[in-house]
Every structure is written in structure tokens, then in C-alpha cells.
Structure 1
Amino acid sequence: MTTKTFPMPKGADQVQELMASQLADFRTKRAAAEARGIDLIAERISRYLTRWKEALVYVNEGEKILDLGVGWMPPQIFEMLIKERGHNYHAFDVDRSSIQHLVDLGITAGLPASNFKTGEVSCLPFDGKFSLVFSSHCLEHAVDIVGTLAEIRRVLKDGGVLFMSVPLGFDDSDEHLLFHGPGEWIAMLTAAGFEVLAHTIGTIYTASADLTILARHRDAAPADPATSRGIAERFSKAGRTLLRSNHESLTYPNGASAGGGAQAIMQGVGSRMEATLQVSPRALVVTRHPWSGMLRISDGTSHTMIDCYHTTTHQYGVDLTGFKPDFEVELIGRNPLSKGFECVVAGVLI
């Protein structure tokens, strides 16, 4: 197929339906891994435990914490949080079965069922002030990310921290609604009234690249929801269509070799892609990796340049808001650190 249209979920129930397909994919991968003697569940729990230990550096034992998008909580992590560190632990998820699992675990630890809630992440059912909000691969699913960040800020005490991780960049999954890069996430958090303290990119916690951010809530920091909403709208896949690199509206005058997953590989300075669309583009989707070069994108009036070099391989959506339907992408050079002169095009989002 040369196109893919992403759904536009309206709420938590529809998001949960989309995530069901992700679970089915994971079961397939798990079975394949087990055939090779690899236990994916144990591997994920180990990585999840490492991530939690990193987050807990920023909060004292016994303090009140919220696990946002908890998923299926491994008992050994629950025991670390409750029995070893004595946290007043609360959790939220759109999946009711995950929350019931936590209610059952909580009974054994003397925690009330009211600590564990489900619903819309943009309307959190908590009033108390938390010292830490921990969110691992949850926020990319948010239908209303601006409202969600405002709610996280509301439930954090002044000086409390958000420790969040999200997949890095663009992917083909229906349930990942956002494709923010590090700059977009940091700009959104800043506009939402957070002070971003640190961010890291890598594959420590997942097989594919992800982004981890540590941000602090300050009561005095002004919020700018209009800026946040503008970024969210520009970097959302919901309801949009991806024209893959082999779509008839995308041509390569200098030629391009075929990459995996319907990607086109342009090689050498002067290599070009020409787009002749019916509507204005929203983003050019490219793969950033250690062999990537520098691109110039032009429609005759608007121009932008992007250095695609990156040490961690991932897909990235270059914002083309305001560009005309007909535009050109040219490989013009490379970062001195890059190992090559490549541009890997995944497609154009419209």
C-alpha cells in the first residue's frame, strides 16, 4: 500500500481499542522471541525496574507518587515502591483490567482501592499534590495532550517532578497519536509551565529509540496553552494520511534505492525528491541515523533546512506547515560527524 490514514480517536475507550492491536503485535513478537530462547516479559520488567529506580532518585522515600499509564504492574516493582520505600502510591490507566489488578495488589499492602483510578487522562480524578508523576510510554497516546499536561501540573506540588518517557519521533502505529521530537516535547512542557531539567535519547529501556524527560513544576511559571496547542496540532497524526515514499506523487529524478518498510534511499549530494500533491503537506517523514546528510526543502517561496544526522536511529517528522503542495527536497551536504550522504524518506504526511 502506498498510503496509510491514521484514526482520530475521541476518547479513552477508542484509544484502548487501538492499543489492543499493539498487544496482539507484542504477543506475536513474544512467541517469536521465545522460539529463540528470549523471554521478552522478563526483559521488559528488568528495563521497567531500571527506569523506576532512576525516577525515584528525585523523590524521598514515603512521598506521594502517581503512576500515569501504569499498564500491568509487575508485583516485584509494586513491592519495591510500597514495601521497600513506603510510598503513598497512586496509579491511573485507561485499561480497567490493569487498574483492577492494582486494586488486588493494593489489598495485600493495605492501600485503599481509591488510590487506583481509570478514565480520561486529560481529566485526572485526583486532588492531592504529588511529589512525582511517573509516566512511561503513555503521553504519546493522549487525545488531548495540552489538557493532559495541564492536569499533570495541577496534581504536582510546587517543586514536584514529572519523569516521562515516550517513543522518539514518528512511527506507523495507530495508537501513537503524536510524533514530537525532543525540541517539540520540551517546548510543549515549557509552555505548560514546567521547567525542563534534563532529557536523554537512547535504547536503554526499549529496543527502539525513546525519549526520557525530567521536568519540574513551578507555581510561578506562566502557562501558555495556545503555544502548546499549536505544537500539538502540527505534530499529530490523528486523522491524517501518510503518503509513503513510493506514492505516485513523490518522484526521484536522480533515482533512489528501495529501503525496508517502503522507504526510499537518496544517496549523494544533489539527489532530489519532488512532491506534487493535491493538498498542502504537514510533514516530511525521514529516518535520522549516523549516515544521514543535510536537506534543503523548498517550494519556491518557503525554505527550510534539516540536518538528518543522529547517533540514534529513528524516524522524524519535519514540520512543513505553510508549504505549498508542490515542493522539492534536495540532499545538499552532511554533518562532519556523519558517516555518509544519505536521505531515507519514509513519506509525506498530509
Structure 2
Amino acid sequence: MSRKILVVATSDIHLQVFHLPYLKMLKDKGYEVNVAVEVRGNGKVPFADHLFNLPFKRTLFSFRLLEAYRRLEKIINEGDYALVHCHTPIPSAMTRLAAGKARKKGTVVLYTAHGFHFYKGAPLSYWLTYYLAEKYLSGKTDAIITINKEDYDLASKKFYANRTHYIKGIGVDTSKFRKIEPVSKENFKREMGYEPNSFILLYAANFIDRKNHQFVLRALGGLKDLIPEIKILFAGSGIRMQKMIDFTTEHGLHAYVDFLGFRKDMDRLLAIADVSISSSKQEGLGLALAEAMVCGVPVIASEDRGHKELIVHNETGFLFEQENEQAFIDSVFKLYQDRDLSKKFVKNGVQKIRQFSIENSLASMDKIYDMYLTEK
């Protein structure tokens, strides 16, 4: 039996951020691990024996994708892979189309859905495009791996893959984070240039439309009157960042907002955060909130399938209805006023998030890999 595995994803950065523990696990089990990505970072993926650099462009309207497809098909057909595991929408679609010949020869194709683009409440156009595409492609997939229950229920009932699995996210590495006590939090705030009594909301997310940063800025107009010492920190980069900076300036909010850009020191930012927030329109899970819960930071998030995996309303945090600014403002103000409520959320959140540890996720994926590799 072949001992070769191919992992396909959008970019080297994606693998570096989310998948290194899984690549290491496969290497430790004695497999040769190759990866196919577009190099958008340093081009180095630890634990990968070989990296194929393919032009996985962000848009379907690029002729470079045809080149990527042809090269990917050649890699799969000539690679003698026991298993191909694909992530992220465009590369995963291309992989499943390209792997048809290899599947007939015994190659297993797994697809991890990190949050389908169709979901309860999504626009009809999403269901007419993304849903129909995923349903068709599921027939070219041996197994779909989902990271939230809504996606699992839909895929297991409506799609054509031979099997569907549910794991509790891709895993939070709790060793990177630690809970910060209130006295230490004040000291950390001083060290990082903030007033000790400032009330800091942290939103860690790239600036794309789905993350809905403007919602937070609109709500800030009401929050600053209730909480004069409020400060919102946006950690992330992206195509909409300048637009949000301009919005902040135009509405006289610049004194209350810091745009931090992409950060590698999330542990330090979480150490000064009083609340971690998300106004995302949809999430597969919500890794930034999970990391906040590990650090003992209370969380407030918009209602969606991923956030509901992590947050039990009024037990491990607050959930607010999509686009409901007043509900968001009320939730923030309650935590500002009631520190005992914050402590309750923290205590319950730390217990809840243990289910989503990297150790549990690795164990789940280990069983899934063994299921398909030992069947061959």
C-alpha cells in the first residue's frame, strides 16, 4: 500500500496557521506528506516532504486556475497517493474534479468543510450556487469532514459522499495561551500603552465583508456614550481595512479605535482584552473566540452556526441577533457593569472550550485517517 498523502489548500499560510499539527501527526505515523498550495507567504511548510506551488487564485474568473487544475490533475494521477485531503473551497472543488481517475484506482479523497458558504439565513443566491456545487462535488468525495453540527446535519442528509464526519473544530492549542488575572491585566494594559481602566473590546478577524466590522463601528456610536473609556482593537488585515479606517475618521470615532493590522502576538492582545467580540455574518466555528475563552476572556458574538457551537447564551457568553446593534450594545454594557457575570462566563467558557482542544481534534482526525488508510 502507498504511504503517500497529498494535502491541498489555498495557500502555504493557511497550512502554517491551521494544519501543522496534523501534518506532524501524519509524518510521525510514517507517511510521506506532500502539499499543493499557492505560495503567498515564505513557501515553507514544516513536516511537508514536498510542496507544489499552484496558482490557486481567489477568484473563479482567472485563466490561471485552468493551469492549476491541469497541474493538480497530473500531480494526483502520477503521485500514487493513498489519500488526498483537501481544504478551502476553490482548491477543494478542483481537487475532487481532478481526482476522478485516481479514485478509480483506489485513492481516497477527503474534504474538510471549514464552514459551508450556504447556511440557515443565507441569501438564496448562495443556495443556488454554493449548495448545488457542493452537492454535485460530494458525489466525487469519499468523506466530508465538518466542524459544526449544522453543516454535519445537512451534509449527512443531503449530500452524496460515502461518509460524513463531525469533529469539534480544527483545534485550539491551549499551550499558546493562559488565563490572565485582573491585576496582571491592568499592568499589561499599561505596558501596551493603554489606560489601566480602559474597557477593551478585541475583534480578531481579517477585513473582509463577511466579518462585518462596520457593524461594530456603527454600534460604537452608542457605546462610547455609555462607556467613555471604551477602546476597540481590530487585529487583522485585508481589503476592507482602509474603508473601515475612513469610516472611523468620518464619524469621529478614531479616539476609540485602534487598527492593529495582522498580529502574531494574540496572546498579548488577549491579555489586555476585557471582552472578545465577533459580528461575523457566518462562521464555520470561530477560532478567535475559542482562543479568547481559553484565556479567560468573556465573549460576545453574533448568532450563527459556528458561534453557537462555542457559546451557550447567558452561560458561556452572549449571542446577539444578526445586525441587532442595540442587542450588541446591551450585551457589552452588561459585562461592563457586572464583573460577576463576566466571571461566570469565564468559568463556564474555560470548561466548555476544553472540548475543542487541539488534542481532541487530533485524536478525532487520527481515527478518521486510520479508518480510510487501513481499509485500503
Q: TM-score, normalised by structure 1?
A: 0.36
Greater per-residue strand proportion:
1
Q: TM-score, normalised by structure 2?
A: 0.34
Greater per-residue helix proportion:
2
Q: With a CA cutoff of 8 Å and minimum separation of 6, indicate the structure with the bigger relative contact order.
A: 1
